[in-house]
Amino acid sequence: MSLKDELIKDRLPKHVAIIMDGNGRWAKKRGNARVFGHKHGVTAVRETTETAAELGIEYLTLYAFSTENWNRPKTEVDALMSLLVSTISSETGTLMKNNVRLNTIGCKESLPKGVQKKLNDCIEKTSANSGLTLTLALSYSSRWEIIEAFKKVAQDVKDNQLDVDDIDADMVSNYMTTAGIPDPELMIRTSGEYRISNFLLWQLAYSELYFCDILWPDFRRDDLYRALLDFQGRERRFGKTGDQIKK
Ligand code: FPP
């Protein structure tokens, strides 16, 4: 029986989030520059997106460029931005074929104009697709997002658009960049690092965390199936006892 066949189709997560890590180490192991790893990471992005779409997963969120990544050497940042542009150009057809809608979270204004335009064009072109929503976190960090949310809440209270007593968890979720998207039930991080790295801190409150040693450019269908099977073996308690959940 293949790993895919072992999956329980009606117990798949609606939303999977991934920290794609290990591109640099993958390249270094091969005696190449870090950018070589990012380029090969695109294959893993394509295969993961296609697999998630085929399985009927509704949301896939990929951490593609963090706020902190701006501090990398300029050559690497420039190469990553060029890679984004070329990947969006080459992959829009694949997104259309797989009925995938593109979305982004993060400080889009801080991205180069050319990247913004490519993203906006692809978001527009794929906007009527009704399958998987692929969200790229770009120039994103959770603390940035939370600060932005605080500012909007404060402004809305000041403008009498919001009553302080109405602030609850649902309302805070609606001030996040992921408003309207359910929280990820599963968060995967590749490359053997056990950190959240400023990714979806609010949204991951009850997510199952899955860490694997595979470096991102090597991540393939079976690796996603393995993560999903592991998820399906977990008991999600949300603070309750195991006995309460089984009732
Ligand atoms: C982390 O590996 C990866 C990134 C910072 C970039 C992710 C980009 C891609 C997978 C390619 C382009 C993506 C899209 C969506 C087109 P790292 O560089 O931190 O690796 P290391 O920990 O081994 O140094």
- The bridge status of strand 101-105 relative to strand 59-66 is unpaired
Domains of the chain: 12-141+185-233 (3.40.1180.10)
pLDDT for 238 equals 80
Tokens of 192: 């053997």
pLDDT at residue number 15: 98
Query: What is the Cβ-side half-sphere exposure of residue 44, based on CA atoms within 13 angstroms?
Result: 25
Is 217 a pocket residue for ligand 1 (Cβ < 6 Å)? no
Residue nearest to atom 5 of ligand 1 (CA): 65
6-21, pLDDT tens digit by residue?
999 999 999 999 999 9
Provide CB contacts within 8 A for 204, sequence distance 6+: 17, 183, 184, 187, 196
Q: How far is CA 244 from CA 218, 236, 247, in A?
A: 40, 11, 6
* 38 CA: nearest ligand 1 atom: 11
At 200, the amino acid letter reads: L
Q: What is the whole-number distance in angstroms between the Cα of residue 176 and the centre of ligand 1?
A: 24
Neighbour-count burial of 73, counting CB atoms closer than 10 A to its CB (0-12 exposed, 13-18 middle, 19+ buried): exposed
Residues shown for the chain? 247
- What is the CA(101)–ligand 1 centre distance, in A? 22
Residue 42, classified by CB atoms within 10 Å of its CB into exposed (0-12), middle (13-18) or buried (19+), is middle
Pocket test for ligand 1, best of 18, 19, 21, 65 (most atoms within 8 A of CB): 21
Give the alpha-carbon dihedral of 87, 93, 98, 100, to 10 degrees: 60
Pocket test for ligand 1, best of 90, 198, 216, 220 (most atoms within 8 A of CB): 216
CA–CA distance, 102 with 120 (Å, rounded to integer): 9
Question: For the segment 157-214, what is each residue's pLDDT rounded down to a tens digit?
Answer: 999 999 999 999 999 999 999 999 999 999 999 999 999 999 999 999 999 999 999 9
pLDDT digit string, tens, across residues 35-93: 999 999 999 999 999 999 999 999 999 999 999 999 999 999 999 999 999 999 999 99
* Longest CA pairwise span in the chain (Å): 60
Dihedrals phi, psi of 210, to nearest 5 degrees: -130, 120
